[in-house]
């Protein structure tokens, strides 16, 4: 009964998020009636799910816990009767279960039947092809692969290649080269595979070589194919020096038959990792020479120029690197043109701030997407603040206004206004107010992009209009037409399949409506999975271009662990909105999260720091994944830093970057007020952290603690002296 009640509650939330007001049962009486009806007629709980799809979700909910035959029975029912995309999901899952049971014959028969109806379903095709591979029916593997267009899927291409090698098929050579050139790479040197092949990722190319040698076909391969295969094997095994040796041959040859844009970019990074930048530059030079003679298309040549520039820049050969990037732009188009331009301008900025300022007009005349350069322009403005070049800041605004991304204009106009108000620039109050208003009008985004809008509003002591004014709330976007994959998310909600829902969101990204995503994010929040509810909703609002609704803001900034956080804030004398903001930005309320550096829990404390704090609090060895313990330790630590610094914002900087560093930075930039000191901090992570916590604190103050924007900004930046 409790589970049904929970589902009823989720159902009501879903209806609310869909803005079906007439079904949103607000009174306790109607809720009681609704519960009684759904208890007797549980199919009403599945309003967004067709009856034929229900068995599929039941199968997922009992998979691994119930009789396998029952699971397969549920899957067969939906595989036959459900509508798409649930039908394909049920079929793929059924094949997965049968494949796990090593019932390859059943997989092959069912898989071919399913593909006869929908030949483009890659997941079904992969299990079917793998089953035929296990059955050593290599012709069938090729048939299935061709039907599903294996050339556009790494897993299918690998399976077809294995069949061609084992069966000594004539097309093996072409597919081997395609596989070596087009298989994506990840940072570790491995590849991206999915489903039943994901465990083979780390030794993928090694296994290909092994099968070639076992089949007796390796020795007959062309020498460049062997070189390409050796390059991928050395790279996946992190033998970068050996990989660089093979890369010299591939890049120098400049033969488009054995060279792709992915291999060119990967080779540049391998040369850098191996400490063979000079050899890499020479190889890229020879490849460029071939390309300029017409032996390579511009689509590859532009990447060779990038590789040469990247390596030359790492060696400190700045003029040479700039020349490579400039020549590369003559052959480039679209986003890769902007990539070359970004590296060109980055080198100029790191060589000379004054040169970067002088080159702004050239940069804006060449860029295609201004947003691509926002980080470099932010770095330039920070350098100008560190040097006290306030005329340079004003010059940036004059050159970029109307050309750069909105967040950049919001940032630079705020700096200009603040510099003038502090007396660093000559300007009257009318002009200062105009700059602040420009900052407010240009600010956008859901997180740190709002920072300058908030700070300018506070500086003008304006009425911000509350959350609506900060976020440009748009509740009209809540009722968005459904899309074909929505049923998958509603099923995940109804049957409490959070992992499944997160998985299909990754694999079916553009086929969900925002309404369904909002419902799923609300479900995750209700389930206590705050980190994923925040990330998922944030990503989809940005990707789909919708403004946030009021309900969205409460999902993005949840009042998680409310009792514990409020008690800790009161005990330590910390503004509760600040403690909420710190925990949100540190962990997104994930109690068991561990960072790459080893920081643990809600307030992301290092074990050594937590141990020291615990001893001062006379606490036994703390369990940092316990949310109550963690927040108490984090609250005490923040209060301790507040007592040793001049403001809340300095304590936050110290929390992120360390107290010793903050004192050194403050000594170096002592002439700057706190908000401009934030911009001068040389650690980008720490200055960004300060902005993000300020934004979150303002929002928490508005949503839950009845604090105005002006109050929160004053609280955080006010100096004790």
Q: Catalytic annotation on 586?
A: yes
Confidence of residue 513 (pLDDT cuts 50, 70, 90): confident
Confidence of residue 463 (pLDDT cuts 50, 70, 90): confident
The pLDDT value recorded for residue 196 is 79
Neighbours of 188 (CB within 10 A): 11
**CB 523 within 8 Å of CB 9:** no
Q: How confident is the model over 582-602, as a mean pLDDT? A: 96
Handedness of CA 196, 199, 204, 210 (dihedral sign): negative
- Domain span(s) for CATH 1.25.40.10 in the chain: 239-351
Asked if the model's pLDDT at residue 472 lies above 90, the reply is no
Confidence of residue 190 (pLDDT cuts 50, 70, 90): low
What's the rounded Cα separation, in Å, for the pair 154 and 175? 11
Top-confidence residue, 353 or 462: 353
Tens of pLDDT along 201-215?
A: 678 899 999 999 999
What's the rounded Cα separation, in Å, for the pair 613 and 610? 5
Asked if the model's pLDDT at residue 225 lies above 60, the reply is yes
Confidence of residue 511 (pLDDT cuts 50, 70, 90): confident
User: Helix, strand, coil % (nearest 5) of the chain?
Assistant: 75, 0, 25
Considering the four listed CATH numbers 1.20.140.10, 1.10.10.10, 1.10.530.10, 1.10.520.10, the one that applies to the domain covering 563-717 is 1.10.530.10
Number of helices (H) and strands (E), helices first, in the chain? 40, 0
The pLDDT value recorded for residue 616 is 94
- The model's pTM is 0.88
Q: How confident is the model over 470-481, as a mean pLDDT? A: 59
Confidence of residue 470 (pLDDT cuts 50, 70, 90): confident
Q: DSSP string covering 580-603, please?
A: HHHHHHHHTT-TT-B-TT--BTTT
Between CA 273 and CA 280, with CA 277 as vertex, the angle to 5 degrees is: 105
Top-confidence residue, 210 or 196: 210
Q: How confident is the model over 39-62, as a mean pLDDT? A: 74
The pLDDT value recorded for residue 446 is 59
Tens of pLDDT along 297-331?
A: 999 999 999 999 999 999 999 999 999 999 999 99
Question: Which residues on neighbouring strands pair with residue 594, listed in sequence order?
Answer: 600
Q: How confident is the model over 239-249, as a mean pLDDT? A: 97
What's the rounded Cα separation, in Å, for the pair 699 and 495? 33
Confidence of residue 195 (pLDDT cuts 50, 70, 90): confident
682-720: buried (b, 16+ CB within 10 Å) or exposed (e) per residue?
eeeebbbbbbbbbbbbbbbbbbbbebebbbbbebbbeee
Question: What are the phi and psi torsion angles at 605 (to 5°)?
Answer: -95, 140
Radius of gyration of the chain (CA): 29
> Both tokens of residue 616?
């001062």
Question: What are the phi and psi torsion angles at 672 (to 5°)?
Answer: -90, 140
What's the rounded Cα separation, in Å, for the pair 658 and 656? 6
The pLDDT value recorded for residue 28 is 47
What's the rounded Cα separation, in Å, for the pair 466 and 463? 8
Neighbours of 461 (CB within 10 A): 8
What's the rounded Cα separation, in Å, for the pair 269 and 248? 13
Question: Which residues on neighbouring strands pair with residue 600, listed in sequence order?
Answer: 594, 605
The pLDDT value recorded for residue 445 is 65
Query: Cα separations (Å) of 122 from 127, 148, 149, 153?
Result: 9, 6, 9, 8
DSSP 8-state class, residue 257: G
The pLDDT value recorded for residue 378 is 95
Asked if the model's pLDDT at residue 527 lies above 90, the reply is yes
Q: Report percent pLDDT > 90 for the chain.
A: 77
Top-confidence residue, 44 or 412: 412
Annotated active-site residue in 383, 586, 674, 679 = 586
DSSP 8-state class, residue 88: H
161 Cβ contact list (under 8 Å, min separation 6): 172, 175, 176, 179, 208
Top-confidence residue, 196 or 601: 601
Which range is least confidently modeled, 28-37, 131-140, 504-513?
28-37
Tens of pLDDT along 268-306?
A: 999 999 999 999 999 999 999 999 998 899 999 999 999
3-state SS, residue 185:
strand
Q: How confident is the model over 150-178, as a mean pLDDT? A: 91
Asked if the model's pLDDT at residue 424 lies above 50, the reply is yes
Confidence of residue 483 (pLDDT cuts 50, 70, 90): confident
The pLDDT value recorded for residue 464 is 66
Asked if the model's pLDDT at residue 344 lies above 50, the reply is yes
- Domain span(s) for CATH 1.10.530.10 in the chain: 563-717
- The arrangement of secondary structure in 239-351, i.e. its CATH architecture, is Alpha Horseshoe (1.25)
Q: How confident is the model over 85-113, as a mean pLDDT? A: 96
> Both tokens of residue 676?
């401009």
The pLDDT value recorded for residue 40 is 39
Asked if the model's pLDDT at residue 193 lies above 60, the reply is yes
């Amino acid at each position: 009964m409790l589970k049904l009640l929970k589902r009823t509650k989720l159902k009501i939330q879903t209806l609310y998020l869909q803005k079906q007001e007439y079904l949103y049962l607000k009174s306790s009486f109607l809720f009681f009636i609704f519960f009684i009806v759904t208890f007797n007629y549980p199919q009403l709980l599945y309003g967004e799910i067709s009856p034929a799809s229900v068995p599929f979700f039941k199968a997922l909910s009992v998979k691994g816990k119930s009789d396998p035959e029952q699971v397969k029975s549920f899957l067969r029912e939906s595989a036959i009767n459900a509508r798409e995309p649930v039908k394909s999901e049920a079929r793929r899952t059924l094949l997965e279960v049968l494949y796990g049971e090593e019932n390859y014959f059943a997989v092959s028969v069912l898989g071919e039947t399913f593909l006869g109806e929908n030949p483009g379903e890659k997941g079904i095709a992969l299990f079917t092809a793998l089953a035929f591979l296990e059955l050593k029916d290599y012709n069938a593997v090729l048939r299935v692969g061709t039907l599903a267009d294996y050339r556009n899927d790494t897993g299918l291409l690998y399976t077809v290649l294995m069949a061609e090698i084992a069966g000594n098929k004539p097309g093996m050579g072409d597919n081997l080269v395609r596989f070596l050139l087009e298989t994506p790479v990840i940072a570790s040197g491995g590849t991206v595979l999915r489903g039943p092949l994901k465990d083979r990722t780390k030794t993928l190319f090694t296994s290909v070589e092994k099968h070639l040698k076992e089949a007796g076909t390796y020795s007959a391969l062309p020498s460049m194919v062997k070189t390409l295969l050796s390059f991928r094997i050395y790279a996946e095994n992190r033998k970068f020096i050996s990989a660089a040796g093979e890369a010299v041959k591939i890049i120098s040859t400049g033969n488009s038959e054995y060279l792709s844009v992915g291999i060119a970019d990967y080779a540049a990074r391998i040369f850098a990792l191996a400490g063979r930048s000079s050899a890499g530059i020479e190889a890229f030079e020879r490849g460029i020479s071939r390309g300029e003679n017409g032996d390579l298309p511009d689509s590859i040549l532009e990447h060779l120029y990038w590789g040469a520039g990247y390596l030359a820049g790492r060696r400190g050969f700045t003029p040479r690197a700039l020349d490579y990037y400039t020549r590369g732009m003559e052959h480039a188009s679209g986003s890769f043109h902007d990539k070359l331009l970004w590296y060109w301008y980055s080198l100029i900025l790191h060589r000379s701030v004054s040169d970067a300022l002088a080159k702004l007009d050239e940069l804006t005349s060449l860029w295609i997407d201004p947003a691509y350069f926002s980080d470099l322009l932010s770095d330039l403005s920070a350098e100008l603040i560190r040097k006290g070049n306030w005329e340079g800041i004003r010059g940036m605004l004059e050159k970029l206004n109307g050309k750069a991304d909105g967040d950049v204009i919001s940032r630079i106009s705020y700096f200009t206004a603040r510099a003038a108000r502090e007396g660093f620039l000559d300007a009257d109050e009318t002009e200062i107010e105009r700059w602040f208003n420009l900052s407010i009008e240009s600010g956008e985004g859901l997180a740190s992009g709002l920072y300058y809008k908030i700070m300018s509003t506070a500086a003008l002591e304006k009425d911000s209009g509350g959350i609506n004014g900060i976020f440009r709330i748009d509740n009209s976007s809540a009722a968005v037409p459904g899309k074909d994959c929505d049923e998958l998310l509603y099923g995940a909600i109804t049957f409490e399949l959070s992992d499944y829902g997160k998985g299909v969101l990754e694999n079916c990204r553009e086929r969900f409506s925002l309404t369904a995503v909002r419902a799923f994010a609300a479900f995750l929040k209700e389930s206590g999975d705050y980190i994923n509810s925040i990330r998922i909703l944030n990503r989809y609002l940005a990707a789909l271009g919708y403004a946030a609704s009021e309900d969205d803001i409460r999902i993005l900034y949840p009042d998680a662990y409310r009792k514990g956080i409020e008690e800790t804030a009161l005990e330590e004398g910390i503004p509760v909105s600040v403690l909420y903001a710190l925990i949100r930005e540190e962990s997104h309320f994930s109690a068991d999260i561990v960072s790459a550096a080893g920081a643990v829990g809600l307030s992301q404390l290092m074990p050594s720091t937590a141990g020291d704090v615990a001893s001062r609090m006379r606490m036994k060895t703390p369990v940092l994944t316990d949310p109550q313990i963690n927040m108490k330790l984090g609250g005490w630590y923040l209060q301790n830093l507040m007592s040793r610094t001049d403001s809340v914002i300095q304590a936050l900087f110290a929390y992120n970057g360390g107290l010793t560093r903050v004192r050194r930075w403050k000594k170096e930039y002592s002439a700057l007020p706190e908000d401009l000191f934030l911009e001068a901090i040389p650690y980008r992570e720490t200055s960004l952290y300060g902005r993000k916590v300020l934004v979150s604190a303002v929002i928490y103050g508005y949503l839950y603690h009845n604090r105005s924007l002006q109050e929160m900004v004053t609280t955080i930046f006010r100096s004790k002296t």
